[in-house]
């Protein structure tokens, strides 16, 4: 909440949209190393497979879960 207010991305909870906390996909490991670094691994994998330098930089700088063919624009 503090970071959202600092960067101007704060939005109060909406009464018609349920709030979901936690992981969106369950992990298949109990290894603490895997749990802590799986997001970084996914990011590096996406950057490595990017078709161009521009797309690779967009993977690094855009919101989590961004994809070049993503039609859902975030505000």
- The owner of tokens 């624009």 is 73
66 contacts: CB under 8 Å, gap ≥ 6: 58, 59
Q: pTM, whole model, 2 decimals?
A: 0.59
The number of C-alpha atoms within 13 Å of 32 and in the hemisphere containing its C-beta is 0
Using pLDDT thresholds of 50, 70 and 90, give the confidence band for residue 75. Answer: very low
- For all residues of the chain together, what is the average pLDDT? 86
Burial class of 50 by CB neighbour count within 10 A (0 to 12, 13 to 18, 19+): middle
What tens digit of pLDDT does each residue of 7-35 get?
988 888 888 888 877 777 788 899 999 98
Of the candidates 28, 59, 18, 30, the residue with the CA atom closest to the CA atom of residue 42: 59
Rounded CA separation 29/27 (Å)? 6
């Amino acid at each position: 909440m503090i970071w959202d207010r600092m960067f101007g991305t704060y939005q109060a909870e909406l009464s018609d949209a349920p709030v979901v906390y936690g992981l969106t996909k369950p992990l298949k490991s109990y290894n603490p190393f895997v749990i802590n670094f799986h997001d970084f691994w996914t990011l590096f994998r996406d950057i490595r497979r990017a078709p161009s330098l521009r797309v690779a930089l967009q993977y690094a700088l855009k919101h989590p879960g961004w994809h070049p063919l993503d039609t859902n624009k975030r505000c």
